[in-house]
Amino acid sequence: MAVLSEEQTMLRDAAKSWVGEKSPVTALRKLRDSGNADGFDRAAWNEMAEMGWAGILIPEEFGGSGLGYLTLGLVLEETGRTLTASPLVSTALTATTALLLGGTDTQKKAWLPKIAEGKAIATLAVDEGAHHAPAKIALKAMKSGSGWMLSGKKTFVLDGGGADFLIVAARTSGKIAEASGITLFLVDGNAKGLSRQKLKSVDSRGAANLSFDNVEVGADAVLGSVDQGYGILEATLDRARAGLAAEMLGSATQAFETTLDYLKTRVQFGQLIGTFQSLQHRAAKMYTDLELTRSCVEAALSAIDNNSNDVPQLASLAKAKANEVCHLVSNEMVQMHGGIGMTDAHDAGLYLKRARAAEATFGSAAYHRDRYASLLEY
């Protein structure tokens, strides 16, 4: 664990006690079983916003605390431990980052204070297929009067079903898969011509597919510069990847600790199963992988806070390692619990389902390995 300031320690401890009290794993189970359409609990999100979590990245002048990415990562790790479903990733992390990196003062004033208060849900709409591919943008934006007209589709948009506004990556020139010619637009969630299909995924979160049928936006809806949106998009995604990796580290750590507790209590053959060396070594390897992943996540978040030039590498490293460790630990959680781990009543299945959904979000391990190699030019 990184060496923390007093303020960070207090926030982390507050997050730990809040999720334990208000948002244990049973909250996600309840959310799933109630058929909640948003994919998160609005009352819980209000409480999170009241504690300042929605505005951790937002500077004080726009109503936040401006504490930075490592600090937000501490909160995400705690919410990840109990699989808390909330717009922290879509809104407080990803959309906020895009506004901070590319927004004009007017755009920031319009949206950041609302985000910090928990009054606006926002999200980034980037992918158009089953796999993360931020350059493969086909959704078209054409000049229309003084503004733009958007047509196309977006897939698996986090909290996309109920978001108040969307940041949409669109193609304004060039061919699909080219980095240049991409422009980011701010689009109202209730815009005419926008239809949203809420999806029921294994992790019970609120992802949606969006369809844009000649959606009109003004010239002031452009975030950053026309045709030059890819730089902001990639920088935004890197911050989202590192933050999501922190949440995943929390989930994997809790899945591991729950499993370790089971190894210390379950008796078979007259022995605690945790005394069997085959299980001890697998536990020790998981612990090793968790420690290595923690180093990567903290390094990526710190690099973002310090504006280091190796953010892209470290973000891919953190996301790839978090994917791998979540994959391993969630599988081992089921296996080491045996039959009980296969039941819906046990939490193992919830950790497994969330792990895979988070792994596929903002790039799989294979995606980030390929990107890491390309960044190193081989």
Tokens 């294994």 appear where? 202
Site for other proteins contains 317 (CB under 8 A) = yes
Dig out the tokens for 32 from the structure: 């799933």
9 binding other proteins? (CB under 8 A):
no
Q: How far is the CB of 175 from other proteins (least distance, A)?
A: 17
**Residue 347 interacts with other proteins (CB under 8 A)?**
no
CB-CB contact of 81 with 253 (8 Å): yes
Residue 278 within binding range of other proteins, rule CB under 8 A: no
Residues 320, 115, 109: CA angle, nearest 5 degrees: 115
The region of 96-104, 113-121, 173-181, 365-373 touching other proteins under the rule CB under 8 A is 365-373
Q: Which of 170, 299, 329, 360 binds other proteins (CB under 8 A)?
A: 299
- Binning the chain into helix, strand and coil, the percentages to the nearest 5 are 55, 15, 30
CB of 318 to other proteins, least distance (A): 9
Among 26, 288, 306, 308, binds other proteins (CB under 8 A): 288
Q: Does 377 bind other proteins (CB under 8 A)?
A: yes
Nearer to other proteins, 33 or 377 (CB): 377
* Measured distance CA(102)–CA(226) in Å, rounded: 11
9, 20, 325, 345 from 6: Cα distances, Å: 5, 21, 29, 39
Q: How many residues belong to the site for other proteins (CB under 8 A)?
A: 39
Indicate whether 287 belongs to the interface with other proteins (CB under 8 A).
yes
Pairing mode, strands 194-198 and 208-217:
antiparallel
Rule CB under 8 A: say whether 263 interacts with other proteins. yes
Do the beta carbons of residue 89 and residue 76 sit within 8 Å?
Answer: yes
Q: What DSSP state is assigned to residue 60?
A: G
Kindly state whether residue 320 participates in binding other proteins, applying the rule CB under 8 A.
yes
User: Which one, of 347, 162, 376, 358, lies nearest residue 256 by Cα?
Assistant: 347
173 contacts other proteins (rule: CB under 8 A): no
Stretch that binds other proteins, among 12-20, 77-85, 123-131, 285-293 (CB under 8 A): 285-293
Q: Which is closer to other proteins, CB of 127 or CB of 289?
A: 289
Q: Could you give the CA distance from residue 351 to residue 348 in angstroms, rounded to a whole number?
A: 5
Q: 171 vs 321, which CB is nearer to other proteins?
A: 321
DSSP secondary structure string for all residues of 145-189:
TTEEEEEEEEEEETTTTT-SEEEEEEESSS-TT-STTEEEEEEET
**Applying CB under 8 A, which part among 41-49, 139-147, 151-159, 282-290 lies near other proteins?**
282-290
Nearest residue (CB) to other proteins, 10 versus 284: 284
Q: Is 105 in the site for other proteins (CB under 8 A)?
A: no
Q: Which amino acid is at 141?
A: A
What residue ranges bind other proteins (CB under 8 A)? 1-3, 260, 263-264, 271-272, 274-277, 280-281, 283-285, 287-288, 291-296, 298-299, 317, 320-321, 366, 369-370, 372-374, 376-378
